[in-house]
Each structure stands twice: as C-alpha cells, then as structure tokens.
C-alpha cells in the first residue's frame, strides 16, 4: 500500500509529570498539561472536524478517565481510540506480570469508556519489553505504533505478534521533537515538511504525531493550521489520511509487508 498518511494524537495532559511527581505538588508549577484538559484537546478536535480529517487518538487510561466526554467526542467525530498505556509507566522496567496488568487495565478502561476494545497500542514512554507484543496479541490487538526502527510498516511475527503489524513513528514528524527544542513555529513546520516530503517519496508512508499540550504540542491556536498544511502537502504527493486500524488491516489482509 502506498500513499498512506497517518494522523495520530498522543493525548498527554499532566500524565507525564504525574508519573513521577505527586499531582498535588504539580499545582501551580506546570500548567502545560492542564491546558490539554481546559482547551487544547477540544481545540484540536475542532480543527480536525473543520478540515474533515480522520485521526487515531492514543489515550492513556488515566487521561481517558479524566476526559470521558472527549473520548466520546473522538468517537462521534469518526476518530479511532487506541491505547497509550495506563499511566505513563516504563514498560521496559515493569516485569511481565506488572506489564500484563498495566496493559490489561488500560485496555479495560478504554473498552468501558468507548464501548469497543482498542486495536492499537503506542508505548507512553517509547519503551517496550520483549513481553509487550505477545501480551498485546493475546488481547486481540492489530498493531503497535511505538518503534522508530523503520520508515514503513512491517510484520511483528519475530516479536511474538504473528497477527500484528508495526506502524512505526518518526521523530521528525512529531511536533514535540521540535517544540521541545524551542524552535520557532515556522522552523518546526519547515523541518516536518522536509521529513514528510522525503518519507512519502521513498516509502509512500508517513506517521504524523501531535500533542494537544501548550508547550510541546499544537494545542495553541497559532499552531493548529500546521496540521492542515501538512495534510495538503502530503496530498500533493498522493498520500491520503487513513486510520491506523485500517492500514494495519490492509497490510495483514494483503501480506504486503513481510515480517523482518
């Protein structure tokens, strides 16, 4: 399959900070995560709706429980709900039993809030263990989207996911990569456009990743038009926005991507 553009959203509120600092100690110290709750995520959903763009939202369970009305809105707007773990645990350090519990609890939370089981997973910290993929497969997952080790999708058979597909992410196509370095908005867009153009020309696949936060994400009004312009650029190269689950099903059905 060529010409596939994934628009993905990592729903990060205060979760990344709360994973290491008691929430009571965060009040008044860092409001960027709370920006997601108050306006960032709703504004991002508005922009996607206005432009008619489908996206896959990777929800940590702890964030979904805070914002059940926005989980419901994601579904109403035609987006996909995928798992982003429970509460920003480092999966590489959990151990099999604890990891299975964390993945299972996140799975059940999203099932309860959305009415259907999630079929995709993205590590909340970018780390996986050798047990992660087998655990996900046992729960019926179609794909993972955590790895940076390729530019295009591939099968996960050698990692214990015989029926699963990896939809790799790209640091260069992630808003946080650039905004975390405090580059200007124009410079961030320029860098993402360069990466997007190159990847689509070579592989016909690109995975854009956005965050609704005020600091490292596109939640602010001045940044949101970036999404539309990137989608327009991809369209000029023949790439169509699709949901992660659709692309994973396509690859699994056609066996276009063999296991590495």
Query: CB neighbours of 250 closer than 8 A, spacing ≥ 6?
Result: 1, 256
> Residue 260 falls within a domain, yes or no?
no
User: What is the average pLDDT value for the chain, to the nearest integer?
Assistant: 93
Q: What is the arithmetic mean of pLDDT over 154-169?
A: 93
pLDDT, tens only, 4-17: 999 999 999 988 88
> Residue 64 falls within a domain, yes or no?
yes
- Which stretch of 25-34, 66-75, 106-115 has the lowest confidence by average pLDDT? 25-34
Residue 30 confidence class, pLDDT cut points 50, 70, 90: low
151 near 168, Cβ under 8 Å?
A: yes
State yes or no: pLDDT of 236 exceeds 90.
yes
pLDDT, tens only, 39-83: 999 999 999 999 999 999 999 999 999 999 999 999 999 999 999
User: Residue 161 sits in which domain range?
Assistant: 4-254
> Residue 259 falls within a domain, yes or no?
no
> Residue 174 falls within a domain, yes or no?
yes
DSSP 8-state symbol, 59: E
The pLDDT assigned to 1 comes to 44
Q: What is the arithmetic mean of pLDDT over 142-167?
A: 94
Q: What is the arithmetic mean of pLDDT over 189-214?
A: 96
Token representation of residue 81:
């709900």
The pLDDT assigned to 28 comes to 63
> Residue 243 falls within a domain, yes or no?
yes
Any idea how long the chain is?
Answer: 260
Distance CA 193, CA 250 (A): 26
Kindly report the backbone phi and psi dihedral angles of residue 43, in degrees, each rounded to the nearest multiple of 5, phi listed first: -65, -40
CATH of the domain at 148: 3.20.20.370
The pLDDT assigned to 255 comes to 62
| pTM of this structure | 0.94
Q: How many domains does the chain have?
A: 1
What DSSP line would sit under 235-252, residue for residue? HHTT-EEE-HHHHHHHHH
Answer with the residue of higher pLDDT: 30 or 250.
250
Q: What is the arithmetic mean of pLDDT over 140-157?
A: 96
The pLDDT assigned to 258 comes to 39
């Amino acid at each position: 399959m060529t010409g596939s553009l994934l628009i993905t959203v990592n729903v990060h509120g205060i979760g990344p900070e709360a994973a290491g600092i008691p929430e009571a100690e965060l009040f008044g110290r860092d409001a960027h995560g709370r920006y997601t709750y108050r306006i960032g995520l709703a504004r991002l959903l508005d922009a996607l709706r206005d432009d008619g763009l489908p996206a896959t939202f990777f929800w940590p369970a702890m964030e979904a429980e805070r914002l059940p009305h926005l989980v419901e809105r994601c579904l109403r707007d035609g987006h996909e709900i995928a798992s982003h773990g429970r509460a920003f645990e480092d999966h590489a350090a959990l151990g099999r039993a604890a990891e299975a519990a964390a993945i299972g609890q996140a799975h059940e939370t999203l099932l309860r809030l959305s009415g259907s089981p999630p079929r995709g997973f993205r590590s909340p910290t970018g780390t996986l263990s050798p047990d992660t993929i087998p655990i996900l497969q046992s729960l019926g997952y179609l794909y993972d989207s955590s790895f940076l080790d390729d530019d295009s999708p591939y099968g996960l058979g050698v990692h214990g996911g015989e029926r699963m597909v990896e939809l790799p992410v790209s640091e260069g196509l992630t808003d946080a990569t650039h905004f975390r370095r405090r580059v200007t908005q124009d410079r961030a867009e320029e860098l993402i456009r360069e990466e997007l153009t190159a990847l689509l020309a070579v592989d016909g696949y690109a995975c854009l990743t956005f965050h609704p936060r005020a600091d490292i994400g596109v939640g602010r009004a001045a940044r949101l038009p970036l999404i539309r312009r990137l989608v327009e650029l991809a369209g000029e190269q023949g790439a169509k926005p699709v949901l992660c689950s659709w692309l994973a099903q396509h690859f699994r059905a056609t066996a276009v991507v063999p296991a590495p």
